[in-house]
Amino acid sequence: MKRYIKVKGALKAYLRWPIVLSLLLVCMNISIYMIDRKAGIVMLGFVVLYVVIAMLLYFFRRPAIIGDLIRYAADYGQVQKQLLKEMALPYAILDYEGRLLWGNYEFLDIIQDEKAARKSVSNVFPEITSLVLPRDMQDKTVRASKNDSHYKIILRKIIAVDFSDSAPLEYQEDNMGLSDPNALIAMYIYDETEIKTLIRENYDQKMITGLLYIDNYEEALETIDEVRRSLLIALIDRKINKYMQSIDAIVKKLEKDKYIFMFKQKYLPQLQSGKFSLLEEVRAVNIGNEMSVTISIGLGVNTDSYLLGYEYARAAIDLALGRGGDQAVVKDGEKLLYYGGKSIQLEKSTRVKARVKAHALKEFVEAKDKVVIMGHAIGDVDSFGAGIGIYRIAKTLNKKAHIVINEVTTSVRPLMTRFINNPDYEEDMFLKGEQAMGAVDSNTLLVIVDVNRPNYTECKELLSLTRTIVILDHHRQTGEAIENAVLSYIEPYASSSCEMVAEILQYIGDGLRLKQVEADAMYAGIMIDTNNFLTKTGVRTFEAAAFLKRNGADVTRIRKAFRSDMDEYKTKAEAISATEVYLDHYAITVCSSVGINSPTVLGAQVANELLNITNIRATFVFTEFHDKIYLSARSIDEVNVQLIMERLGGGGHMSVAGTQFTNSTLTEAVNNLKVTLSAMKQEGEL
């Protein structure tokens, strides 16, 4: 059967114009005939001639016109096809399985291997897997790299209706279900290499502000001859300036022991990969000085303004100093990165800071009607003794005072018993958290001792119920801090919170004198935290102990109070006998909590005992208690257990630290520790 091509639209109207004009001429002829017969007859002859010619053209020339149109359309299609092939945007058509069907020149130049692409486009771009191919009408965007170039690829599903009568697409089963026989995938490639390069250059050119403080400037100079002091300072300046030159930094000395420097962000990975080697270089400077010089560095990165970068640097340097110095802290928004901090903190010989803090604390106590003292959850002897010291300050200044204790551990009970039903002390001296929440008001001073992390406090709800908060602690700071404290006295070099409070007591004045029971509690806190004056003990520790002895502390009474019962001693022995030595130097064991009132305290004692074993650098003791797993970590001087515990979400000191595990089994917690130790050893951190 012969198939005719139908003419439609504007072209059909254009071809019919002669016939329409013929009708118009007929009307004109009739009008002229009505006016003049002869003129009408003459006009009729011309109209008939026009109509005949128009009909001949319409019917006999129409196929030729249609043929010309078809040839023009074919030429136009070829032009379209050529333009598509030469289009600057890389473009391709894939089948539903991701096989290349057709691609323009730009696309083929990028992939280079057309044969592999016809098998699967994932052979060219591994990022394009069957999972990212669009199965609905929603476009998929994929980022891919090839030959050092970066591309954004858009995949779009298209439906080809009656695509080909001679070679129809077949139904094929794939892992996503039954494929659409008329479905194809259009693939567009956008080259983002230049944009990414410019973004990277812009990122690298950002300016970072840093602060560098010498931690022990005065103390180090005092250990060297006066004639060599200028040489020591010059050597330190030279080390700092040479290090800054290596990263093209501008450095300016603000004070004798404080520097500010600025450098491009592209050098930050270099500093981080070198773990801020300047810390080691400065510590190695020695021209006869007995004390090594240490520095602290604070950096603020990825900020929108220089002012905010400087504020970040200030916060970072404060945190570095609060953690004991000799380390670098990088503050990137809310994220904090720590480097160094492996050396033992040296106590400062001057007690000026203690005197200043004591006077400030006295002013805050005098300005309030009530004082509430709170330590950490599952309080130990140190937090209890420090709380007793602050209680004595409040009572000396004639203020109402309470100590918050939710759970009395076996280590605290012998001391606390001496205060309960004692006529010298009020019945509401000790309160539970719920009772304290009812006692706190806007005119209450909240003093937090032996802890600086809100989630570790005895009752964290109290932090939001009062605006006046004072923190006294000897643990290193972490990124999680108590906000809006009006007074923060955190000294990581101190042996215990009781030592810090004992120093403060000596500057309160007003005839303050401790009672024997109070002196015993504070002296016990120092003894426990120093493991009978063996750990983190300095000159100021013994001075604080001497002050407490003068106030009636009795070592014999304290020793009797801390004797273990037989069950605890057996549990301790079982834990020690079951100890596993991991990586040749790390003792790991589990301390049972069955029948033990304060298993966490017993676990800490086991950790201390294990340090007496030869070649043991650090000890780790796990204890299950109250649906949590507590980990006590101890060392002498070879390993910084605080860095290990921080990786596990905890913290503490270089030689005394710990952490807690929630929603974890004992086996998982032990494996987590082992993985962390192995990783740190491979990284050179151990």
What is the tens place of the pLDDT at every residue in 659-685? 989 888 999 999 999 999 999 888 877
Instruction: Determine the Cα–Cα distance for residues 128 and 225; give it in Å rounded to an integer.
Output: 70
- Whether the CB-CB separation of 53 and 3 falls below 8 Å is answered with no
Residue 90 DSSP symbol: -
pLDDT at position 130 is: 82
pLDDT at position 520 is: 92
> Could you tell me the two tokens for 313?
């640097």
Alpha carbon 498 to its chain's center: 34
Q: What is the mean pLDDT of residues 583-611?
A: 87
What mean pLDDT value characterizes the chain?
84
Q: Give the torsion sign (CA, 535, 538, 544, 545).
A: positive
| Kind of pairing between the strands at 370-374 and 444-449 | parallel
Check residues 61 and 586 and name the one with the higher pLDDT. 586
Q: Strands, DSSP E only, in 284-424?
A: 295-301, 327-332, 335-340, 370-374, 400-404
- Most confident range (mean pLDDT) of 105-109, 383-387, 457-461 is 383-387
Instruction: Determine the Cα–Cα distance for residues 402 and 431; give it in Å rounded to an integer.
Output: 7
Using pLDDT thresholds of 50, 70 and 90, give the confidence band for residue 202: confident
Match 């030869």 to its residue by tokens.
614
> How many helices (H) and strands (E) would you count in the chain?
24, 25
681: amino acid identity, one letter? K
Instruction: Determine the Cα–Cα distance for residues 8 and 130; give it in Å rounded to an integer.
Output: 44
Alpha carbon 355 to its chain's center: 37
Express each pLDDT in 251-280 by its tens digit.
999 998 999 999 999 999 999 888 899 999
Q: Comparing C-alpha atoms, which of 573, 565, 620, 634 is closest to residue 596?
A: 565
Express each pLDDT in 314-328 by its tens digit.
989 988 887 778 889
3-state secondary structure 281-325: HHHCCCCCCCCCCCEEEEEEECCCCHHHHHHHHHHHHHHHHHCCC
How buried is 149 (Cβ within 10 angstroms: 0-12 exposed, 13-18 middle, 19+ buried)? middle
Instruction: Determine the Cα–Cα distance for residues 499 and 544; give it in Å rounded to an integer.
Output: 6
Q: What is the mean pLDDT of residues 116-141?
A: 85
Alpha carbon 365 to its chain's center: 37
Q: Give the torsion sign (CA, 678, 683, 684, 686).
A: negative
> Could you tell me the two tokens for 530?
């120093």
pLDDT at position 452 is: 86
- Whether the CB-CB separation of 208 and 268 falls below 8 Å is answered with yes
Express each pLDDT in 34-91 by its tens digit.
888 888 888 888 888 887 877 776 666 666 666 766 676 666 667 777 777 777 788 8
pLDDT at position 602 is: 86
Instruction: Determine the Cα–Cα distance for residues 390 and 448; give it in Å rounded to an integer.
Output: 10
Check residues 414 and 163 and name the one with the higher pLDDT. 414
- Whether the CB-CB separation of 609 and 635 falls below 8 Å is answered with no
Q: Give the torsion sign (CA, 665, 666, 672, 675).
A: negative
How buried is 419 (Cβ within 10 angstroms: 0-12 exposed, 13-18 middle, 19+ buried)? buried
Q: Comparing C-alpha atoms, which of 248, 249, 297, 250 is closest to residue 277?
A: 297
Express each pLDDT in 523-573 by its tens digit.
999 998 888 887 778 888 899 999 999 998 988 888 888 777 788 888 889
Kindly report the pTM of this predicted structure.
Answer: 0.58
Residue 169 has pLDDT above 60, yes or no: no
Instruction: Determine the Cα–Cα distance for residues 292 and 515; give it in Å rounded to an integer.
Output: 41
For 574, phi and psi rounded to 5 degrees? -65, -40
Match 């082992």 to its residue by tokens.
674
Q: What is the mean pLDDT of residues 356-366?
A: 89
How buried is 585 (Cβ within 10 angstroms: 0-12 exposed, 13-18 middle, 19+ buried)? middle
For 465, phi and psi rounded to 5 degrees? -100, -10
How buried is 304 (Cβ within 10 angstroms: 0-12 exposed, 13-18 middle, 19+ buried)? exposed
- Whether the CB-CB separation of 268 and 297 falls below 8 Å is answered with no
Instruction: Determine the Cα–Cα distance for residues 7 and 550; give it in Å rounded to an integer.
Output: 117
Length of the chain: 686
Q: What is the mean pLDDT of residues 170-196?
A: 66
Residues 6 or more apart whose CB falls under 8 angstroms from that of 499 comprise 474, 526, 540, 541, 544
Name 209's bridge partners.
262, 300
Instruction: Determine the Cα–Cα distance for residues 325 and 292; give it in Å rounded to an integer.
Output: 13
Using pLDDT thresholds of 50, 70 and 90, give the confidence band for residue 342: low
pLDDT at position 178 is: 37
| Kind of pairing between the strands at 100-103 and 91-94 | antiparallel
Match 């100021």 to its residue by tokens.
540
- DSSP-derived 3-state class of residue 580: strand
